[in-house]
Chain A
């Protein structure tokens, strides 16, 4: 057992999956000798060889399409898309093909594959390197959308994603890659998919978030506690299929719900969660559901990035409004 950061946890999970299943192959741009631009695949080519850790030509669409072909023949490809802003060309392959082979062939063919991509902002990266574009994928039936929020979750959820018989897109918050360390046992134990996690218990208010917004929500909960407000924090982790029960159970207890997402507001996944709370926990609500989100603007370049991203102040203000309402 040792304390590791999130990107090392990804690396450990990949190595674990590759050593336990010959069908797991890693591919993508610069994943070989370079170890990936964030070093998530560091050392894998040395350990598992170039056949299983494959540098590809630069084409995100074909990395996805090629992975579909591999998966159809029984491999379990884990493809890296270098940045989430470059994942858009994959949508055609995922939505039109990968996520629907099982349905189209009534189970004859399926695509057990994972697309991993560094995701979302907060590291002052170049343009197109910081997009929180998960909603582009949460709209695709047959696909799983998974976002870890800590080294431990990254390890367990990635193992689960690789072992899952259906396609998964796995968004890794770049901001958390090296932000914190925690003890992670490299024991091959997967974390459950399709499950929301209560990461802090509370009774006055429910904060719902995912990815890099989890540390923000937890910090806000600390600040609220100092003011006598007890906030529960839920890490959504798998956005689709959504475990609404965990969220609804919490809101039914607390009566207040603040949802935090890094992406711009309109059409964001916070809206889906808000709708479910409104539909199914309406009578428990003591205050309107609040969303704390990015704005409906093009993601600003690094100098204004911080102004765009939800932070503890904005989350705290929303929580206070909910508390003040009733």
Chain B
């Protein structure tokens, strides 16, 4: 900062800011703040189960990728608390606007593992979830989906519906103009939208300090005049309660929020990436200490609500579920290739109908 001497006596401070950070469970599973209202052992256990379900799904997907039965896959390992916490804060008729690794969010929203696998297996039908019918599908381009969340929120506001949208994107996405613009529009119109930043420290090989000079990503909300805060992104209680509060504010007409959830990507960016090229094993190992599942198990065990048997039973149950869902996925009849023509427009245009005919010959 360059110090400049005041040139007039009228100079004064017009704004200053603080970014709040919240955490309930520390990495050891110790409660560092009283649980928010409405939380008890049962709700915490449900969140823990959803996180483990996501992790078991992830393991299954990685195994399927390695054996060539799905394509390139973006793992959610280490970030499950954000995806589960944010999605479980949504009301059923809210709309989720995810990036590309929010598998836990889709599972919470009712998408079947077999549907998600179908998408990663290279089949568009995997994006047409039987449940979660209004949620947007995965978005691979970084950050541009934030504008859709803003538009959806404008739709809710225009219809005076008490609904909200929630977008999730990564730390790298905050460098995109799209994200700033979406937040800015939402701020101007006080739209019911929540922007959740999955700050996992790395945008493929580029660490956060090469992404921005800002102290926090949350403070980007300050620049556009909207509520912003940080949470421990490995603490599902912190994520979920912050998202719930933000969604409540949104539905009450109090406008949008930015929630920066701090976590760490414990795995490669995707199965096509090799993270050892740009970060050390020691760094990754240190972050395993803070991952989101173990602390929940420790906490629940410490209050006598979880046992080793519960753990084994749950894992066996989840593995059986994912095996069965894999079966459903693998047995899904192939798409008729000719259907590739049928969804380009609502009605097949003449010239496309001719290409379709040609294709069939």
Chain B at the A interface: mostly helix, strand, loop or mixed?
helix
Cβ-defined partner of B343 (8 Å) among A72, A103, A241:
A103
A235–B95 Cα distance when bound, in Å, is: 43
| Pairwise interchain contact A97-B145, C-beta atoms closer than 8 A | yes
Q: Taking the complex as formed, is A28 at the interface, i.e. its CB lies under 8 A from any CB of chain B?
A: no
| Pairwise interchain contact B148-A57, C-beta atoms closer than 8 A | no
| Pairwise interchain contact A25-B144, C-beta atoms closer than 8 A | no
With both chains docked as a complex, state the minimum distance between the C-beta of B25 and any C-beta of chain A, in angstroms. 35
Cβ-defined partner of B155 (8 Å) among A70, A97, A104, A241:
A70
Total B residues in contact with A, Cβ cutoff 8 Å: 44
Q: Taking the complex as formed, is A96 at the interface, i.e. its CB lies under 8 A from any CB of chain B?
A: yes
Q: Taking the complex as formed, is B124 at the interface, i.e. its CB lies under 8 A from any CB of chain A?
A: yes
| Pairwise interchain contact B144-A72, C-beta atoms closer than 8 A | no
Q: Taking the complex as formed, is A213 at the interface, i.e. its CB lies under 8 A from any CB of chain B?
A: no
| Pairwise interchain contact A104-B137, C-beta atoms closer than 8 A | yes
Q: Taking the complex as formed, is B214 at the interface, i.e. its CB lies under 8 A from any CB of chain A?
A: no
- Determine the chain A residues whose CB is within 8 A of the CB of B344 once the complex forms: 102-103, 141-142
With both chains docked as a complex, state the minimum distance between the C-beta of A169 and any C-beta of chain B, in angstroms. 14
Q: Taking the complex as formed, is B254 at the interface, i.e. its CB lies under 8 A from any CB of chain A?
A: no
With both chains docked as a complex, state the minimum distance between the C-beta of B183 and any C-beta of chain A, in angstroms. 10
- Determine the chain B residues whose CB is within 8 A of the CB of A281 once the complex forms: none
| Pairwise interchain contact B156-A73, C-beta atoms closer than 8 A | yes
Q: Taking the complex as formed, is A134 at the interface, i.e. its CB lies under 8 A from any CB of chain B?
A: no
Chain B, residues 110-147, CB within 8 Å of chain A (1/0): the string is 00000000000000110111000110110101001111
Q: Taking the complex as formed, is B178 at the interface, i.e. its CB lies under 8 A from any CB of chain A?
A: yes
A243–B344 Cα distance when bound, in Å, is: 17
A180–B137 Cα distance when bound, in Å, is: 47
With both chains docked as a complex, state the minimum distance between the C-beta of A98 and any C-beta of chain B, in angstroms. 9
Q: Taking the complex as formed, is B153 at the interface, i.e. its CB lies under 8 A from any CB of chain A?
A: yes
| Pairwise interchain contact B351-A65, C-beta atoms closer than 8 A | no
Indicate whether A92 sits within 8 Å of B345 (C-beta atoms), given known contacts A75-B158, A243-B350. Answer: no
Cβ-defined partner of A97 (8 Å) among B124, B144, B352:
B144
> Whose C-beta in chain B lies nearest to the C-beta of A98?
B148
- Determine the chain A residues whose CB is within 8 A of the CB of B188 once the complex forms: 57
> Whose C-beta in chain B lies nearest to the C-beta of A245?
B350
Indicate whether A241 sits within 8 Å of B136 (C-beta atoms), given known contacts A57-B181, A68-B147, A68-B151. Answer: no
Indicate whether A241 sits within 8 Å of B352 (C-beta atoms), given known contacts A93-B147, A103-B344. Answer: yes
- Determine the chain B residues whose CB is within 8 A of the CB of A166 once the complex forms: 345-346
Q: Taking the complex as formed, is A51 at the interface, i.e. its CB lies under 8 A from any CB of chain B?
A: yes
Q: Taking the complex as formed, is A19 at the interface, i.e. its CB lies under 8 A from any CB of chain B?
A: no
Q: Taking the complex as formed, is A105 at the interface, i.e. its CB lies under 8 A from any CB of chain B?
A: yes
With both chains docked as a complex, state the minimum distance between the C-beta of B149 and any C-beta of chain A, in angstroms. 7
Q: Taking the complex as formed, is A224 at the interface, i.e. its CB lies under 8 A from any CB of chain B?
A: no
| Pairwise interchain contact B343-A57, C-beta atoms closer than 8 A | no
| Pairwise interchain contact B141-A92, C-beta atoms closer than 8 A | yes
Supplied contacts A97-B141, A102-B346, 8 more A-B pairs, CB within 8 Å: A61-B181, A65-B150, A65-B182, A69-B148, A69-B153, A74-B155, A108-B128, A165-B347
Q: Can you give 30 contacting A-B residue pairs, CB < 8 Å?
A: A25-B158, A56-B185, A57-B181, A64-B147, A65-B150, A65-B178, A66-B147, A66-B182, A66-B185, A67-B151, A69-B154, A69-B165, A70-B151, A72-B136, A73-B134, A73-B151, A75-B155, A92-B144, A97-B139, A103-B343, A106-B339, A106-B343, A107-B128, A108-B133, A109-B136, A144-B345, A165-B347, A241-B345, A241-B350, A243-B351
When A and B form their complex, which 5 residue pairs have the shortest distance between CB atoms, in order from nearest? A69-B151, A65-B147, A241-B349, A73-B155, A62-B181
> Using a CB–CB distance below 8 Å, which chain B residues touch chain A?
95, 124-125, 127-129, 133-134, 136-137, 139, 141, 144-156, 158, 165, 177-178, 181-182, 184-185, 188, 339, 343-347, 349-352
